[in-house]
Amino acid sequence: MPGSPWPAFSESLIWTSNLRFRSALARPRCYRTEVVIPRKRRAAKERRTTFSAEVLSVFAEIERRGDRRSRAYTEKTRQLARLLNLVPQWWTMNHVNDRSAKPCHPEGHVSRDDFWACRRTHEALLAALTEQDRRSR
């Protein structure tokens, strides 16, 4: 349109204020044109947490210790908790090297959840240590 302030938009601009917006979900499926495209499927990669050499060495040292009531043992468990970001769990008297079969706190208690978090970390650390030993042989 000559003389229009927006010459580039004047021919393709359609005012649709009185039309309802339809959802894509509301329209019926057209089975002739919509084809399901197969995706490439692959096995998911195993996702293990990785631990630093310092964490593994401190964990191995604590596991070898015989005296679990000494001050040195307590300091090492706190150092390991700092390295693993498990300090809140350490303050609820749970640590990664706890060998209890089950938590001593009742269901719904914070310490019970912390116990299971430390237990999962303990199992992951043991798996990492066995993997490290297997690689070194």
Q: Specify the amino acid at residue 94.
A: N
**Residue 12 placed within a domain:** no
Q: Is the pTM of this model over 0.85?
A: no
Give the count of domains, the chain.
1
Triad 72, 76, 81: Cα angle to 5°: 150
**Residue 77 placed within a domain:** yes
Domain with 72 in it: 53-136
Whether the per-residue pLDDT at 6 is higher than 70: the answer is: no
Query: pLDDT by residue (tens digit) across 37-81?
Result: 666 666 555 565 688 889 999 999 988 887 778 898 889 999 999
**Residue 120 placed within a domain:** yes
